[in-house]
Structure 1
Amino acid sequence: MLAPCPSRTPDDLKPRWMGHFCGLCLELRDDAGHLARLTTNYDALALSVLVEAQLDASDSRDAGPCALRGMRRQTVATGAGPRLAATASLLLASAKLRDHVEDGDGIASRPGARGLAGMTADRLRAKAVGLGESIGLDVEPLVAAIAGQREAEAACGTGTALTDITAPTEAATAGLFAHAAVVAGRPENAGALRAAGAAFGRLAHLLDAAEDFDEDAAKGAWNPLAATGTGVEGARPLVRGALADLRAALESASLLDRTMTGLLLERYAHHAVSRTFGSTCATYPAAERREYRRYRERRRDRRDYYDHDRYRPEPRNFFAGLCAFTVLCCTCQMCCRERYEGPWSRRPRQGCCRDGCDCCECDCCPCGCD
C-alpha cells in the first residue's frame, strides 16, 4: 500500500524515505541475516516513521555504499524505529509463508519446497520474537492475532460483516502502532496510534482483497469480498471510512514532525485507495467510472508483454529465478535500470530509483480528480 511513488514524493523527502527504507533493510541484515533482507516491507516503514515523528532528534548514521543504492552512500535511520519495523516485516513474512505451507499453494506448491518454506517461516518468527524482546514488545499476542485470521475466514459466510474478517489484521497492526508510542517514550500517544493501526490494518486488508478480486475469482481462491457477498463496490464505503479514521487518529496524536507521516499515511494511502477503487467524484457516473477502470486495467495488462500481445516468456522456476535475482541485485539493475526483466515472472519491471513511475499517471480519473 505504501510503495514508493517518486512522482508524488517531493525531492526533499526522497532522501528521508530512502533513509527509513535502508535503515529497515540494514536492521534486518544485522539481526536476522542477509536473506532476511528479502522480507523488507514497504508498509512496515510506517512504524519507523511514526517513531521518528515523536522524537525531538531521531537516531541516524551514515551507511556505506550499497549495490542496491547504486553504490551510493546514505544517511539511514537507526534505533527502535527500524527495529520495530523489522519485527513487523519478519512477522508478516513468516505468516505469509506459513499460509502457503498450510494451503499448499505459492512457493510451497513446488516439489520439495514445502518443508523448506515451513522451516523458513519458523526461523523468521523466532527472529521476530528475539527482535521484539530487544525493544520490549511481546510478539506472542501479535502472532496469536495473525493466527486467528484463518479461524475468522473459516467462520465467514454470505452476510458476514467485513470487519469480522479484518479484525485479526486490525488487532496485529494496532499493537504494532501502539508500541511505536512506547519505544518513542510517548505513552500518551498509544491510544491514538492504536486506533490508527486498526484503521491501517483494515485499509490494507481490504485493498489487498479488492486488488486480488478478479484473480482470485479466476483461480477459485478464497476472497473476503466474494465470500461475504460484498463485492468490490460494496467495500468502497468501508475503505473510505478506514482512510478517514486513519487521518483522524493521526491528527489526535501529539507528533512533533508530521512531514513523513503525512507523506506515507495520508498521501500514499490516499493514492492507493484511488488507484484501486478509482475516483469518487460525484459528478461522474459510476458505470462510466467502472468502465474507465477496466480500460486502465487493460492498459496495465498490456505493459506486462514485451512488444505485442502474442508473446510472453515462460516464468523461471524457483532456483533459476533466485540466480537471476542475485545477478539483478549485484549489478544494481533492480534499483537503477529503467527497465529490466523480472527474475521469476520475466515480465518487464522498472527500477525503484528511476525518475518516474507508472503508478502516478495523470489520467487516473477522466474527470480530472484523484
Structure 2
Amino acid sequence: MFGIVRPCSHRLGEGLRTQWMAHLCGLCLALRGDHGQFARVVTNYDGLIISVLTEAQAERSAGWRRTAGPCPLRGMRTASVAQGEGARLAAAVSLVLASAKVRDHVVDGDGLLARRPVAAAARRVAGKWDRAGASTGADVGFDTAVLLDAVERQEGIEALAGPGTSLLTITEPTETATAAAFAHTAVLAGRPGNAEPLAEAGRLFGRLAHLLDAVEDREADAAVGAWNPITVLGTSRAEARRLADDALHGIRLALAEVRFTEGKLAHALLVHELGQSVDRAFGTTSCGHAAHEVRGASGHEVTAYDGSGSGSSGSWGSGSYGDGSSYSGGNHRGDSYGGGDYGGSGGGNHGGSGGWGGEPQKPRRGFWAGCAVAIGLCCTCQLCCAKEYEGPWSRKKREGACRDCDCDCCDCCSCCD
C-alpha cells in the first residue's frame, strides 16, 4: 500500500481511525469483489480519500457499511467496512492509474520487465486493469478517459521540460486527473454544488502528490539516473516548499466551501494529515520525537522538532522519515495518488544540486520481486501491525497502519470541534 497521506493513530483518535480503516478495507474489498484477489495490490492510502469524500457529503443511510469477514491484515478480525459507489469509484481510479504505471515500466524496460515474456505478461495485466477500471468507472458514471489522457500527456510534457520550465507545468496532468475524481464524488453524493470547490481541492491535492513524490524520491532517482522534475528543472528546496505550502492553504480554503454532512475525517486527512505529509517529505517533523509549539512567520501554529531541518530554507538534512510514497518512485508521470511509477527511465544521471543533501537510499526492488515481498508482508500482517517495516518496492522504512503509537498527542484546530 502506498500514498502520501499515511495518518498516525494518535492524531486521528479511536473514532476517526476506525472510520479510516473502514474506508481502507472497503477499497481493498471493492477491488477484490469486482476484479479478483490480484487487483488488491493497487490498494493505496490516497485512493480511499475518494471514498471518504463521497460518504462525507452524502446523507446517512443503512447501506454505507457492511461487516467484513476475518482478514490477515486485521489480525483475523472482522470489521465494519465502507461500501457503495464511493468505494467503487476509488477502486476504478486506482486500477486505471496502476495500469498506466505498469505500461510505463514496460516501456522503460526496468528490471525483469526487460525480458519479453515478463513484459508480455505485464501488458496483459495492465490491459485487464485498464478495462476493469473503465468498467467500474462507467458503472458509477465516471469516465476514466480523463485519467488515461493525463498519463499520456505527462510523458510528452516531461520530454520537453528543462531548466526554466515551471514545475506547475509538470504537475498539470496530475492536477487535472485528481480534480475530475474529487469532483465526481459530489455527483455520487447528490451534492452538485460541491463539485467546483472539490475540483479545486483535487487539483491542489494532485499537485502535492506529484511534488512530494518527487521530493521524497529525489536522492534515489539521482542514484539510478531516473527522471525527476525537481532535479531536471533545477527547482530549489525553498521553492518546492513554497509550492507545497500554497497548495495546503488552497485545499483548506476549498474545503471550507464544501457542504459536508459529516466532514471530520475528510478534514483530518486533507488538512492535518496532508500537512504532516509535507513536513515528513521535507524532513521538518518526526512523529516519535518530543515536540514544542512555535509560531510561524505567517502566524500559523506549527510543530518544530529538535534536530530537524528548517521549514523552507537552509540545508536539506536527512530527516527522520525514509519511507516513500510509491511502489518504487522512479518516474513521476501523472500518478494522481502519489504512487510514482514502478521503475525509473533512462535519461542520464541527474546529480544533486546544492542544499538538498540526504542519505542514499537502498537499491529499489524490481516489480515482481517487490510483489513477492509484498505478499510476504501481507501474510505476516506486517503491513498492518508492524511498528516498522521495509517497503517492498522502495525499500524505505514505513510504519504499520495499526501499530501502537507512543508519541505525544497533537492538538486539533478549532474547526475540527
1:137/1:345 CA distance change after superposition, 3 Å: closer
Q: Does 1:100 align with 2:123?
A: no
- Which amino acid in structure 2 is aligned with residue 55 of structure 1? A
Q: Does 1:113 align with 2:118?
A: yes
Q: Does 1:266 align with 2:289?
A: no
Aligned residue in 2 for 1:191: 196
Aligned residue in 1 for 2:375: 326
Aligned residue in 1 for 2:53: 50
Aligned residue in 2 for 1:140: 145
Task: State which drifts further: 28-37 or 340-349.
Answer: 340-349
Indicate conservation of the 8 Å contact 2:171/2:210, yes or no.
yes
Indicate conservation of the 8 Å contact 1:107/1:117, yes or no.
no
Indicate conservation of the 8 Å contact 2:50/2:181, yes or no.
yes
1:26/1:121 CA distance change after superposition, 3 Å: same
Aligned residue in 2 for 1:237: 242
Decide which of 168, 178, 181 is 1:176's aligned counterpart.
Answer: 181
Deviations 1:296-326 (A, max 9, x none): 35x859xxxxxxxxxx999887666655543
1:331/1:295 CA distance change after superposition, 3 Å: closer
Indicate conservation of the 8 Å contact 2:85/2:140, yes or no.
yes
TM-score by length of 2: 0.75
Decide which of 380, 389, 401 is 1:352's aligned counterpart.
Answer: 401
1: CA distance between counterparts of 2:69 and 2:270?
29
Q: Does 1:9 align with 2:58?
A: no
- Which amino acid in structure 1 is aligned with residue 11 of structure 2? R
Decide which of 312, 319, 329 is 1:296's aligned counterpart.
Answer: 319
1:192/1:220 CA distance change after superposition, 3 Å: same
Task: State which drifts further: 203-212 or 231-240.
Answer: 231-240
Aligned residue in 1 for 2:166: 161
Structure 1 unmatched runs, 5+: 302-311, 363-370
Deviations 1:86-110 (A, max 9, x none): 1111122112111111222256346
1: CA distance between counterparts of 2:370 and 2:170?
34
Aligned residue in 2 for 1:335: 384
SS at match of 2:79: strand
Task: State which drifts further: 89-98 or 17-26.
Answer: 89-98
Q: CA deviation at 1:222?
A: 1.2
- Greater relative contact order (Cα < 8 A, sep 6+): 2
Aligned residue in 2 for 1:223: 228
SS at match of 1:294: coil
1:153/1:19 CA distance change after superposition, 3 Å: same
Aligned residue in 2 for 1:276: 281
2: CA distance between counterparts of 1:246 and 1:212?
24
2: CA distance between counterparts of 1:321 and 1:225?
26
Q: CA deviation at 1:257?
A: 1.2
1: CA distance between counterparts of 2:213 and 2:390?
24
TM-score by length of 1: 0.84
Q: Does 1:32 align with 2:35?
A: yes
Task: State which drifts further: 4-13 or 32-41.
Answer: 4-13
Aligned residue in 2 for 1:69: 74
Indicate conservation of the 8 Å contact 2:322/2:396, yes or no.
no
1:113/1:5 CA distance change after superposition, 3 Å: farther
Task: State how 1:114-133 maps to structure 2 within 5 Å.
Answer: 114-133=119-138
Task: State which drifts further: 329-338 or 88-97.
Answer: 329-338
Q: Identity percentage over the alignment?
A: 47
Q: CA deviation at 1:7?
A: 3.1
Structure 2 unmatched runs, 5+: 285-294, 299-303, 324-360, 410-417
The aligned length equals 347
1:193/1:64 CA distance change after superposition, 3 Å: same
SS at match of 1:275: helix
Aligned residue in 2 for 1:79: 84
Q: CA deviation at 1:337?
A: 4.2
Deviations 1:125-181 (A, max 9, x none): 111000001001111122112211111111212111111111110110011011001
Aligned residue in 2 for 1:309: none
- Which amino acid in structure 2 is aligned with residue 23 of structure 1? G
Aligned residue in 1 for 2:353: none
1:181/1:114 CA distance change after superposition, 3 Å: same
Aligned residue in 2 for 1:21: 24
SS at match of 1:129: helix
Deviations 1:206-233 (A, max 9, x none): 1111111222222221111122221332
